[in-house]
């Protein structure tokens, strides 16, 4: 439900699997994933043991930002299928006991959206332009000094001389949320998908939407690339993010979700600097959850992990929201690579994952992490992230390479085509396919399956209270009811406390926990 004043919402302890549509499974052989592809792999997700999937945008879109540039919010991009395929996916997922969260992109539309096309045609001063943020400039420079998250100025000039704001790509014009028509449109969109049976929404750039009305210059107009949005540099001087007015939108949306019963939810993507600002998005009458990016951004450090855990509970508890935990998504470097890559990176990634799966709240997993996939160094000629085109920095393609399912060469069962998919897969992935891992008890896939199963049996029933305790400077240790969790971030082995080891992220010799390893004890 939208109002999170109950403690029973299914999402509160869900394991939710993020599907990046273009890269999950391709049913028609064009090298691009699609909805029927996802539907065909739902049994895999049910078997993995997740409770829900979040599907990235599959609406009609020129795909400049791979779907985050929406041209029509109430239909399906032909590359990905038809509305009937979305209905079928929902029906099959529900039959398997899986919930489905879809992505909602309210900060901006595609420049191909009919509203933007009408705005361009109607000209300055028109009601059509008033749905976006068009401004004049006295000079040849943009109306202010804001930078796009993807690099370069956040303004583009139209042939008639006016400028429009785009916090992302120039093909993603920002809507003006001070215009009531924008509210009405998105309320219809919510109802459209709720009526079709979706269980929830992931709200893209939920901290955007409102900008300080006078659009003041930033004192330090540095580029806030997505993964750097929580840098310490993020401070007071952010007139385009996290404005107070945005919360009224979510109060209204919570009411709409409620119209459809207690089981519909929304999770915010809000890159805001501190836990208190994040908590505002999940107050009882607003959204249900927000991604906890502090966990994802923490270094490989026991004190840092401990601090994030403390801060997370300190901020969610007073508002009654359930915490979330996330290590990877389609915007950031995959976590085995972040932790150094290779065997050590993977060991750390598995250890961090096992730790997060023990914590109260819900977890968001990103497709391919259950296979231990690393970030791919995508060759410049194959890069497609709009940030790459605007800045010539590598961007996010490396975590978006299509999933290897089976076989010994690309496309590794991704689809029936014979060629490489839309971003080429590395040959080395032949040992990482689902097929190669599914019957190997030491594989990362088997580890995830077992960990999700243990989570359901031992962590979820263990109550909501987490108690951190000391086991050494480089060790994160906590109790949750009868469960004890230990993560060794140091360089030397650690003696485990008393108890039976239920699960570990790597081999354990007796009662000693090696570096880069986590264990659960009962
Ligand atoms: C969000 C998405 C990202 C997208 C951006 C613009 O941060 O996660 O992939 O590029 O919004 O919509």
Question: Angle at which helices 180-196 and 83-95 pack, to 10 degrees?
Answer: 50
pLDDT digits (tens, 9 = 90+) for 111-124: 999 999 999 999 99
pLDDT at 5 over 50: no
Read off the pLDDT of residues 34-52 as tens digits, 9 standing for 90 and up: 999 999 999 999 999 999 9
> Cα(204) to centroid of ligand 1, in Å?
6
Residue 271 Cα: closest atom of ligand 1: 7
| pLDDT value of residue 91 | 98
Q: Ligand 1 pocket: which residues have CB below 6 Å?
A: 65, 68, 105, 168, 204-205, 226, 269, 330-331
Q: What are 342-359's pLDDT values in tens digits?
A: 999 999 999 999 999 999
- pLDDT tens digits along 442-472: 999 999 999 999 999 999 999 999 999 999 9
Residue 282: pLDDT band with limits 50, 70, 90: very high
The better pLDDT of the pair 275, 343 is held by 343
204 is catalytic: yes
Told to judge if 299 belongs to the known catalytic residues of this protein, a careful annotator would answer: no
Q: Which atom of ligand 1 is nearest to the CA of 396?
A: 9
- The kind and range of the H/E element at 487 are strand 483-488
Cα 232 from Cα 246, distance rounded (Å): 23
100 phi/psi in degrees, rounded to 5? -130, 125
**Cα 475 to ligand 1 centroid, rounded to whole Å:** 34
Mean pLDDT taken over the chain: 95
Contact 174, 108 (CB under 8 A): yes
Say how many Å lie between the CA of residue 488 and the centre of ligand 1.
Answer: 33
Ligand 1: atom nearest CA of 329 is 8
CA 420/CA 476 separation, integer angstroms? 42
In this prediction, residue 229 carries a pLDDT of 62
**CA 247, CA 277: separation in Å to the nearest integer?**
11
What confidence score (pLDDT) does residue 393 get? 87
Residue owning the nearest CA to atom 9 of ligand 1: 331
**What are the Cα distances from residue 435, in Å, to 178, 358, 430, 439, 440?**
51, 27, 9, 8, 10
The active-site residue, picked from 51, 85, 174, 204, is 204
CA of residue 407 to ligand 1 center, whole Å:
32
Q: Which of 357, 369, 402 is nearest to 518 (CA)?
A: 357
Q: What is residue 1's predicted lDDT score, i.e. its pLDDT?
A: 28
- Three-class SS state of 201: strand
Alpha helices (H) along 371-511: 386-391, 434-438, 444-454
pLDDT of amino acid 233:
47
Residue 95: exposed, middle, or buried by beta-carbon count in 10 A (0-12, 13-18, 19+)?
exposed
pLDDT digits 0-9 by tens, 252-274: 999 999 999 999 999 999 998 78
Q: Above 70 in pLDDT, residue 3?
A: no
CA 254 to chain centre: 20
Q: Quote the tokens at residue 255.
A: 């009411």
Nearest CA to ligand 1 atom 5: 68
Confidence of residue 232 (pLDDT cuts 50, 70, 90): very low
Q: Residue 440 C-alpha to ligand 1 middle, in angstroms?
A: 36
């Amino acid at each position: 439900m939208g109002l999170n004043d109950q403690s029973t919402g299914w999402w509160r302890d869900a394991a939710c699997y993020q599907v990046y549509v273009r890269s999950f499974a391709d049913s028609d052989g064009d090298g691009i994933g699609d909805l029927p592809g996802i539907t065909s792999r739902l049994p895999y997700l049910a078997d993995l043991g997740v409770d829900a999937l979040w599907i990235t945008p599959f609406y009609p879109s020129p795909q400049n930002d791979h779907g985050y540039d929406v041209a029509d919010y109430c239909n399906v991009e032909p590359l990905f299928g038809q509305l009937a395929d979305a209905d079928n996916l929902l029906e099959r997922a529900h039959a398997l006991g899986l919930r489905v969260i879809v992505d909602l992109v309210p900060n901006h539309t595609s420049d191909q959206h009919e509203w933007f096309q009408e705005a361009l045609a109607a000209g300055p001063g028109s009601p059509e332009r008033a749905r976006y943020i068009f401004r004049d400039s006295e000079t040849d420079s943009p109306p202010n000094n804001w930078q796009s998250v993807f690099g370069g100025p956040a303004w583009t000039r139209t042939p008639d001389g006016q400028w429009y704001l785009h916090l992302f790509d120039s093909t993603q014009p920002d809507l003006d949320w001070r215009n009531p028509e924008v509210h009405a449109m998105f309320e219809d969109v919510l109802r459209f998908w709720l009526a079709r049976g979706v269980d929830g929404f992931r709200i893209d750039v939920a901290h955007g939407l409102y900008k300080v009305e006078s659009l003041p210059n930033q004192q330090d107009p540095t580029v806030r690339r997505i993964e750097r949005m929580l840098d310490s540099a993020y401070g007071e001087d952010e007139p385009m993010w996290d404005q107070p007015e945005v919360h009224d939108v979510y109060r209204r949306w919570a009411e709409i979700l409620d119209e459809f019963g207690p089981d519909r939810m929304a999770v915010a993507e809000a890159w805001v600097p501190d836990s208190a600002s994040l908590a505002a998005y999940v107050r009882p009458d607003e959204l249900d959850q927000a991604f906890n990016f502090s966990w994802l951004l923490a270094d490989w450090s026991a004190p840092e992990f401990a601090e994030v855990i403390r801060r997370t509970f300190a901020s969610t508890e007073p508002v009654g929201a359930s915490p979330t935990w996330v290590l990877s998504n389609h915007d950031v470097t995959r976590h085995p690579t972040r932790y150094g890559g290779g065997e050590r990176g993977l060991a750390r990634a598995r250890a961090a994952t096992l730790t997060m799966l023990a914590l109260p709240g819900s977890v968001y997993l990103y497709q391919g992490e259950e296979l231990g996939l690393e970030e791919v160094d995508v060759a410049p000629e194959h890069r497609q992230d709009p940030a790459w085109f605007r800045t010539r920095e590598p961007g996010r393609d490396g975590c978006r390479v299509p999933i290897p399912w089976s076989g010994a060469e690309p496309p590794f069962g991704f689809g029936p085509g014979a060629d490489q998919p839309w971003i080429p897969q590395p040959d080395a992935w032949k040992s990482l396919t689902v097929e190669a891992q599914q019957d190997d008890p030491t594989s990362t896939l088997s580890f995830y399956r077992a960990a999700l199963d243990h989570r359901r049996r031992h962590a979820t029933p263990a109550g909501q209270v987490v108690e951190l305790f000391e086991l050494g400077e480089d060790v994160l240790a906590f109790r949750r009811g009868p469960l004890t969790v230990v993560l060794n971030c140091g360089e030397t082995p650690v003696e485990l406390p008393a108890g039976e080891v239920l699960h570990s992220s790597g081999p354990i010799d007796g009662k000693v926990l090696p570096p880069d390893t986590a264990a659960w004890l009962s």
